[in-house]
Structure 1
Amino acid sequence: MTALSVNLNKIAVLRNSRGGREPDVVTAGIACLDAGAHGLTVHPRPDARHIRADDVLALGGLCRSRGVEFNIEGNPFAPPRPGYPGLLPLCQSVRPAQVTLVPDGDGQLTSDHGFDFGADGHRLAPLIAALHATGARVSVFVDVGNPHVADAAALGADRVELYTGPYAEAFAAGAPQPALDAAAHTAVLAQAAGLQVNAGHDLSQANLAAFLAGVPAVREVSIGHALIGEALYAGLDATVRAYCTIIDTAHRT
């Protein structure tokens, strides 16, 4: 069964644009969980442009109280600075169920590529071990088509998250099959190495069903930007329920 983890970053973007507490990320998280989401995702960045360290602590408490997965995404190499203690110290404080490592620089608008294991592996391995010591499952962000995706297992990772941006673009252009086939092939390579497979980035109600039908045994999808955008029209509760229905239908068929 594929789990739906709702990324709350865009709620924090809206709050931060005005200051104050509204819209409240914890209230939004409760609404998502009440509607059937299996967990919550945040991606705190060092510049605190959306999710802040205090949000991470509050949402971690919510997820523990509800017995659901809390997934923290972040760049493990970004140094600490005022207001951002660093990904590892933050995870040591919150002890999330899953940590997703993403190689995004400070200036990136959004995550748009996976790790180069040849270049980054020697730094990733000890950080993955340290995150395991907190009790977290560790997933690493990978490009679809990466022939070395199995290297993530040698570094100690439990899962990989397929970067689905190119698939979403191909779907929108009306020619998704090559990107879908590439994602399926990468997933199979990862699974053969003992890794489980997550997916995320630009997945939406329009393209999710085809992705789940075409890529085997996806364990989790992390969806934020499209979901929050759709919720502006239909409401958060209805939108999360719609995603859950898509996932349920995909597994039944």
Structure 2
Amino acid sequence: MPDSTSIPAGYRCALVTGATSGIGKAIVMALRDAGLQVIAVGRSREALDALQAEKGVIALQADVRQTEAFAEILRQYPVDVLVNNAGILSTRAAFQGMDPAEIDNMFDINLKAPLQLTRQVLPGMIERGHGHLFFLGSSAGRAPHPGAAVYGASKAGVSLFCDALRCDLLGSGVRVTEIAPGRVQTQLYRTAMGMEAAGSELYDGYESIMPEDIAQLLLAALRLPQQVDVTRLEVFPTAQAVGGSRMVKTGI
């Protein structure tokens, strides 16, 4: 049974981008199980249809770069929790060999889209005197990772934005939390590298964080008393250290 007793009073509706798989889907289900109405945003119609069948979930097919697509849903459902999860690592090419379109693509989705969506939901949060903004950052935005110069720059922008936004929101009752994980078992690297290459290089023999682990961290921050704001959660597999590729294989 959903248990909303530990969610701060007044929190009723959440919006999650990149909601159709991986971390986003895990967060949708965790927030739904915590008693919130959840708007799940993604691009895959088939995956959204499956989410729509879940009680307490509203599926919205939208590209996060098209901010006008959110106007109507935000009028109908005042959002108390925004999870800016959608992100892309479209290539792991060295910067000098990267297609210029990939640079724009990663900055548009990873940095510009979360800022624009946050700007849309903030007035309502400030008016109600509460709200929680979550941003999925990355260890690549905190330390250099090979093959992630542009991706890392976009996530570093998210990280600094979160810090500066908290300054702007002091006294508003709106909380801001960045979650910056290391290696998580998702489709992110598989999209950039292909399934087989990502498996052999990044996952096979390594213990990774699972999407459900990130969802539980988010819930832990949300459930803290309203006057407590977790600024940043950096989380790594036990066998990975800060600094990109420093990982060891286990269980082999």
What TM-score range do you get, normalising by the shorter chain? Answer: 0.3 to 0.5
**What TM-score, normalized to structure 1?**
0.35
**What TM-score, normalized to structure 2?**
0.35
